[in-house]
Amino acid sequence: MNKDKHSLFLCIAVAAEITATMLLTLSRGMSVLLPTILALSSYAAAYYFLTLSLKRIPLGLAYALWAGAGIVMTSTINFFLFNISLSPGGFIGVTMIVTGVLIINLLANKGQDEKAVEVK
């Protein structure tokens, strides 16, 4: 259960980072006050929850998941919300990010659970 709580913290960090990035678009270069304040607050929340997740999830894995999920979800939301599509090269890059995160999560982390040190 303890690792589940820290995985939830990581999911919240990812959601907050995606929210902040979308708000940056709405802030129009930080010239619109409300989206700017909400974006900065969301980034603060993202880093706070990422820090909480690191008490049980190894840094390399947490950061790969955080960054990879942020890139993939931001690209997906941009497509549906702002009608911004990826170039073929961008699509290949996002596919490689997903593949890399899956490799880290499924293969490179084998046996790391026993070695992970819980920070109190």
Query: Residue 113 pLDDT more than 60?
Result: no
pLDDT digits (tens, 9 = 90+) for 6-45: 999 999 999 999 999 999 989 999 999 999 999 999 999 9
Q: 40 and 23 in contact (C-beta within 8 Å)?
A: no
- Whether pTM > 0.85 for this model: the answer is no
Q: Which residues contact 88 (CB under 8 A, 6 or more apart)?
A: none
Query: Residue 114 pLDDT more than 50?
Result: no
